[in-house]
Amino acid sequence: METPSREFQRRVLIVSSHPLFGLGLRRLLDSRPQTDVVVIGIVESVSEAMGAIDHLRPDLIIVDYDDETVSREEVLMRFIEGGERLRIVLLSLEEDHNDIVIYDRRTLLTSKIDDWLAEWPADMGSTR
Amino acid sequence: MKPIHLVVVDDHALFRAGLVGLLSDMPEFEVVGEAADGEEALSVIRDRKPDVVLLDVNMPGKNGLEVVRELRPHEKCCIIMLTISKEDDDLFGAITYGADGYLLKNVGPDELRKAIIQVVNGKSVLSPEVTRQVMHVVAGMQSVGGEAILSARELEVLTCLARGMTTSQIAGELFITENTVKTHVRHIMEKLNAANRAEAVSKAAKMGLIRLGN
């Protein structure tokens, strides 16, 4: 049986082959005063992410969309068009993407992460 | 031991915040300033006098290369470019203007930590991914056939030639006589085994002695 704190824990998976970005983002999330967010893993490719999704069951996936080693085609095919209900945030310098919400990494602040988490439905963690 | 003072310059707010966080966890360092663009970087660096600046290349407004050019030679701080760019212009521009290191952003925290300590100790650092480009250029310079590489003044004259300047214009630009310019041009053509000025410029560009388009 899960404890209440575990029930509301937000499980975040980061997809980036740049350790400074991935580890830096994890540190930012870990250092939040709220303890409801845990970074469950950092993976370097979409295929690794697919394995991690099965094993680790993340609630939110943050993708370094400008990372050359992260195939955009694969991101779209497996994350966006796939059958699973996944909450994805793509971070990019590019602004023009038709149907996907992309955050401009130049202006993105840690407070925005709080917004994502605040927007998160309370039952998201248990019903994905 | 006194911590090494760092300034972190990057226009990506989230990356910068993460990087500052990682560096703050390392006991050797103290982050004394941050900046999101070139103008702010110059102001913060001049004010805080860090030991080492971690400097992004591509930023809106004044870019990282312009920051290096303006800081040198007056500011003594070490400068490490931290960028995703493998472009020749950025790499060789940074080296030419006096950067102490050129690291790609796929570097790990521990490698970055070691690199910072190395530049403080008077060494230079390059990401393995860009050393081939540097070696290629150096190899080109050696292929001059053992003759002396161009002198600093000859390189200046050659750069002026590449910009399409006439003998008279070069003399005015470098505050030397037209005859001196002609002598330099003759020496350049001899050293590069070029039949004329255009060929000298073309050969020098191929060898990486100068960059066209600047």
For residue A38, give how far its alpha carbon lies from the nearest alpha carbon of chain B (Å): 16
Q: Where are the domains of chain A?
A: 4-123
- Its CATH architecture, for the domain B4-138, is 3-Layer(aba) Sandwich (3.40)
How far apart (Å, rounded) are the C-alpha atoms in residues B188 and B121? Answer: 37
What is the spatial distance between Cα B213 and Cα B210, in angstroms, rounded to a whole number?
10
Kindly determine whether residue A109 and residue B14, on different chains, have CB atoms separated by under 8 Å: yes
Q: Which of A20, A23, A107 sits opposite B13 (nearest CB)?
A: A107
pLDDT at residue A94, rounded to an integer: 66
CB contact under 8 A, A105 and B112: no
Parse chain B into domains and list their residue ranges. Answer: 4-138, 143-206
Average pLDDT estimate for B9-15? 90
pLDDT tens string A49-75: 888 888 888 888 888 888 888 887 887
* Closest listed residue to residue B44, CA positions, set B85, B15, B7: B7
CB distance from A114 to chain B under 8 Å? no
Instruction: Say whether A110 and B19 touch across the interface (CB within 8 A).
Output: no
Task: Tell me: ipTM over 0.85.
Answer: no
Selected from 3.20.20.70, 1.10.10.10, 2.40.170.20, 1.10.390.10, the CATH number assigned to the domain covering B143-206 reads: 1.10.10.10
Place of tokens 């701080």: B77
- How many Cβ contacts (< 8 angstroms) between chains A and B? 60
Contacts of B84 in chain A (CB under 8 A): 66
State residue A60's pLDDT score.
84
Reference A109, options B61, B38, B15; nearest CA is: B15
Strand partners, A38: A11
Taking the CA of residue B1 and the nearest CA in chain A, the distance in Å comes to 26
Task: Decide whether B4-138 matches B143-206 in CATH topology.
Answer: no
Whether residue B143 has pLDDT greater than 60: no
If you classify domain A4-123 with CATH, what class do you get? alpha beta
